[in-house]
Amino acid sequence: MQIDLSYSQSVPLVVSQHDHVMFLLVGAGGTGGFLIGAIARLMKEIEATTNKTTSCTVIDPDIIEAKNIPRQNFQPGDIGLPKAEVLAARYALAMGCNIGAINQHFTIEMAKAHWHTLIIVVGCVDNAAARQTIAESLGRGNGTYYLPDTWWLDCGNHRTSGQVLLGSSSCFKFEKAFDNLAQPNFCKHLPSPALVHPELLQPLPEEIAQTPLSCAELIARNQQSLFVNQHVAAIASEYLLALTLTGGLRKFATYFDINSGSSRSLYTHPDTLARY
């Protein structure tokens, strides 16, 4: 398999020094419900192989309904219970991880920076208002050595396609993105997903309708692929693994299409990031 030339010329991403990794999973529906299992396993591996501690909070105000069962990681017996609580309890017990739940909408205060803590806000939401709040949570901490301590991993999909986007700054300054623009060795900052795709913050017609459709209703109307959310979750899992444990992450956006079987990424190279 040939390696994309732009990948071979890219440089790895570095994160701030930290003793604790805090995952904030915003959205416990189609993608978030499948991603939580990977996050729990990643937490176990981080604590088993490093001297770092981990925590995860599942954030979602919704209640499980019968129409959620086919495409989301729930069972008929879960109907009527809070999505966030069900997923948090299930994987905290199964994996022995520090996983909690908040049955509310995400707020900026939930991403409050702590000393030597790497915060990763994993957005699995389906509306512009939620993404706007996540975008506003970036850049509020001090970090270490001019490195950000809060990152946003945005997960989204359409009928048979999707994307995963990683960023750290809503006020991206290209000249500070690398250690050396002429011959970079590593990348320090990435533009917010909302800078890479401004349309993420633009409400869709169904979002501003007087009677907005639920995620499950939108899925039914658009005839969304049964397993598209799991594709997104799998890609997001690899991003989280490299960002928190294995290192060497050289991309900040990945796009896929199920029908054609195609996938492409944008890599951490000055020529690519200069456009933002």
The total number of structural domains that make up the chain: 1
User: pLDDT value at position 6?
Assistant: 82
Backbone angles phi, psi at 81, to 5 degrees: -100, 160
| Banded pLDDT at 220 (limits 50, 70, 90) | low
| 123: CB partners within 8 A, 6+ apart | 26, 27, 130, 131, 134, 152, 153, 154, 155, 193
Taking alpha carbons only, the member of 126, 173, 134 closest to residue 151 is 134
For the domain that residue 154 is a member of, what is the CATH number?
A: 3.40.50.720
Element (H, E) at 46: helix 30-49
Under the banding of pLDDT at 50, 70 and 90, the label for residue 5 is low
Q: Average pLDDT for residues 2-26, to the nearest whole number?
A: 88
CA-CA-CA-CA dihedral for 216, 220, 226, 227, to nearest 10: -50
Average pLDDT over residues 89-97: 97
Measuring CA to CA, how many Å separate 144 from each of 19, 106, 165?
12, 25, 23
C-alpha R_g of the chain: 18
At 34, is the secondary structure helix, strand, or coil? Answer: helix
Strand, coil or helix: 247: coil
Q: Domain limits at 142?
A: 5-273
Match 């990152």 to its residue by tokens: 151
What pLDDT is stored for residue 1 in this prediction?
46
Check whether 223 has a pLDDT greater than 90: no
Strand positions, DSSP E, 10-116: 20-26, 53-59, 99-102
Whether 222 shows a pLDDT value over 70: the answer reads: no
To which residue do tokens 């990435």 refer?
190
Phi-psi domain of 167 (left: phi exceeds 0; alpha: psi -120 through 50; beta: other): beta
**Taking every pair of C-alpha atoms in the chain, what is the biggest distance, in angstroms?**
58
pLDDT digits (tens, 9 = 90+) for 161-201: 999 999 999 999 998 899 999 899 999 999 999 999 999 99
Average pLDDT of the chain is 91
| Top-confidence residue, 58 or 4 | 58
Q: How far apart are the C-alpha atoms of 4 and 14, rounded to whole Å?
A: 21
